[in-house]
Amino acid sequence: MSTRLFYSAIRTHLRLHKGFAAVPVRYYADIPKAYRPYGKTGDGHYGSTLGKQNVGYVEPVREKILSLAKTIPFSSKDSVFNIGDYAAADGSTAMAIFGELLTTLTDHHGPDTQFQVIYEDMEMNDFNSLFKRMSGIIPDPPSYLLEMDNVYVLASGTNFYKQCVPSNSMHFIMCLTSVHWLSKTPTTFKDSIYKDAMSSAEEKTALHKQADLDWETFLLRRSRELKQGGLLVIGACCEFVDRNSGEIRHLVDSFVRLLNEVWKEYSQSGKISKEEFLNTNWSACLHNMDQLRKPFDDKLSAVSGSGLSLLSAETAVNPDVFYNAWRKKKDEEGIDDREEFARMYVSAHRNWSNSTFMNGLSDSRSLEEKERIVDGMYDVVEKRIARMNPETFKDDLRFIYLVIRKE
């Protein structure tokens, strides 16, 4: 039987027996377990919690973005100026800066310029909340679409370790707080959910090897997508050496350590199995400056050969908005509301961490049982944070900002 006749027979069988829903779809079986959004689809949970922290992350490179964007080659012969927000979540983080960027570019190129904004994220992303934000149904932060003409918004539900848009199509791409996520979990940390001082050399080597490979892959995919003269702006959660203790630390270090502490207690008490603790690994790697610069400093690397050139690389510390809210209430109202600080902190950071624990639990457990265990774990974490001093628990939100041009 020819291939054409074979597939025709399958289509006929499915139509007659109405069996489409029962046919296995290989694509969905390949969805990685690394991350699934937390919260009800379409309720804007990300932007109303973690988004309040993330929206300020662009500030250290804001002026640089607006200035350099005007140098991107674009003429009236081009049909559209393409802008990408990679790992966009529900669009809240980039809403304000994209509004400013579009205004700047419209003033620079003229009122008839057309723009296409493409929001990229994983297949399981809450795109429902994204488009509710864009249309103003979820009003905060205000959507730039409500005030602008000639702007067209699309979404790409594609893993950014793949090519997400056509080659040579993008003028500007921004990616904040996301390149630490790995394409797969490269090792099993025996004593923790993420690399720490007690991790073995083998565990650390496996993690960094995968991180280097993924970083190169990410950059090469973006190099294909960018037009000549296009810009790539990255804000990367980073690893750093603490000035006071000399310890190697990373973004939200205190929170990750507490998560690990409580999850280990769950294993020791029998609430989860030792195997489930081992299976709970944060599939991420917080980079340091040397790791991020490496593909650019090596002029013989594939990244350098692709035409990507590093314009700037800098480290900045962003304010912890939840700590600042606690401090302001204490200073202005005399209220030391540590319970509110803990609630806000856990509600925000559960967005990115929840799936790590859900994925660590055995598939023999029902979804309801998994949720009950993980809910209980976060309740314990929240209560412990509420008993701590926010002055000592808060983290320096250190980021490395890279501005890259496609030569």
Confidence of residue 163 (pLDDT cuts 50, 70, 90): very high
Among 133, 134, 130, residue whose Cα is nearest residue 148: 134
| Chain centre to alpha carbon of residue 139 | 22
42: in domain:
yes
Q: Residues 6 or more apart from 308 whose CB is under 8 A from it?
A: 219, 222, 223, 232, 295, 296, 404, 405, 406, 407
Q: What is the pLDDT of residue 197?
A: 80
The rounded mean pLDDT for the chain is: 89
348: in domain:
no
For 205-243, how does the pLDDT look when each residue is reduced to its tens digit (9 = 90+)? 999 999 999 999 999 999 999 999 999 999 999 988 777
- In this structure, what token pair is assigned to residue 397? 């939100």
- pLDDT over 80 at 6, yes or no: no
Among 179, 176, 174, 177, residue whose Cα is nearest residue 231: 174
Q: What is the pLDDT of residue 34?
A: 53
Count of all residues that appear for the chain in the document: 407
User: How many structural domains is the chain composed of?
Assistant: 1
Confidence of residue 272 (pLDDT cuts 50, 70, 90): very high
Give percent above pLDDT 90 in the chain. 77
Q: For 59, phi and psi rounded to 5 degrees?
A: -55, -40
pTM: 0.89
352: in domain:
no
For 382-398, how does the pLDDT look when each residue is reduced to its tens digit (9 = 90+)? 999 999 999 999 887 88
102: in domain:
yes
Q: What is the pLDDT of residue 198?
A: 85
* Whether the Cβ atoms of residue 118 and residue 165 lie closer than 8 Å to each other: yes
Q: What is the pLDDT of residue 342?
A: 97
- In this structure, what token pair is assigned to residue 92? 């809240």
Query: Which CATH number is 211's domain given?
Result: 3.40.50.150
For 90-135, how does the pLDDT look when each residue is reduced to its tens digit (9 = 90+)? 999 999 999 999 999 999 999 999 999 999 999 999 999 999 999 9
Q: Residues 6 or more apart from 89 whose CB is under 8 A from it?
A: 37, 46, 47, 51, 121, 125, 126, 130
Confidence of residue 33 (pLDDT cuts 50, 70, 90): low
Q: State the average pLDDT over residues 149-170.
A: 97
Instruction: Tell me the residue range of the domain where 104 lies.
Output: 32-251+282-320+395-406
Among 29, 33, 87, residue whose Cα is nearest residue 281: 33
370: in domain:
no
Residue 363: what residue type? D
21: in domain:
no
Q: Residue 213, CB half-sphere, CA atoms under 13 Å: how many?
A: 11
361: in domain:
no
**What span, in angstroms and rounded, lies between the C-alpha atoms of 235 and 364?**
38
* Whether the Cβ atoms of residue 261 and residue 189 lie closer than 8 Å to each other: no
Ramachandran class of 405: left when φ > 0, alpha when ψ lies in -120 to 50, beta otherwise: beta
- pLDDT over 50 at 5, yes or no: no
193: in domain:
yes
**What span, in angstroms and rounded, lies between the C-alpha atoms of 186 and 189?**
10
DSSP secondary structure string, 160-196?
A: TTS--S-TT-EEEEEEES-TTB-SS-----SS-SS--
